[in-house]
Amino acid sequence: MTGLHWSKQYDQDLETIKSKALLMGGLAEEQLANAIHALQEGDVELAEKVMATDEQVNQLQVSLDNACTELIVRRQPAAGDLRTVIATMRVITDVERIADEATKVARAAKNLQTRNLLLLNQYQPIHAIAGTAQQMLRDALDAYARLDRDKAVRMMALDEDLDREFHDMMRSLITYMMEEPKTISASLDILWAAKAIERIGDHATNIGEYVIYIVDGDDIRHSDYARKVLGIVK
């Protein structure tokens, strides 16, 4: 096999994996949107659909992990190419975890309805945090699809907003539970859903870090990289 043919085949194999990873990301994004809708509208059927979809995401993860491992063994990629495959495997892991968190939101939605846990204005506080998390996930997947470093950095900067919104909501719910003890069970379900949404932001941030790892070769985990460079790319 000539070097040119080998390189072309490797590129095709990697592009197939990346396309399937983005398909998996699309499923997770749909799960999150449906889970939030189920929570806001009290749609038990939609919540159950989200939970059922999780198995499809899990199967995709196993298939893609195997494809990445096979690609490494068969093609023995050089440093730069290997970095891309490793980062893609990490993206796949975080997408699967995002789907798990969306399933937790759906489970909370089902709990609130099947146990008839009513809470005055229970869905309004979660609106802001849900919107931020959905934007982060959408931008993270787009940054990965395009290998857009600047978009990844801007997306990562939103994690501070998401954390602040979550803590504001948590304080509000705790105050509400103290004033209205009969709402404690429902409030805890809402808080559990909000924490799952906040975790989705963390996983989206991880995907942004992997984009930078692919593009620049820099491992920026556990750093405030986004904050440092945001003024350059904003």
Strand ranges for the chain from DSSP E: none
pTM: 0.89
Burial 166-205 (b: 16+ CB within 10 A, else e): beebeeebeebbeeeeebeebbebbbebbbbbbbbbbbbb
CA-based R_g, the chain, Å: 20
Give the DSSP letter string of 157-210. HHHHHHHHHHHHHHHHHHHHHHH-GGGHHHHHHHHHHHHHHHHHHHHHHHHHHH
d(CA 186, CA 60): 34
pLDDT tens string for the chain (234 positions)? 444 445 778 889 899 999 999 999 999 999 999 999 999 888 999 999 999 999 999 999 999 999 999 999 988 877 778 899 999 999 999 999 999 999 999 999 998 887 765 555 556 668 889 999 999 999 999 999 999 999 999 999 999 999 999 999 899 888 888 888 887 888 888 899 999 999 999 999 999 999 999 998 876 665 665 555 555 444
Q: Which two tokens stand for residue 62?
A: 């196993």
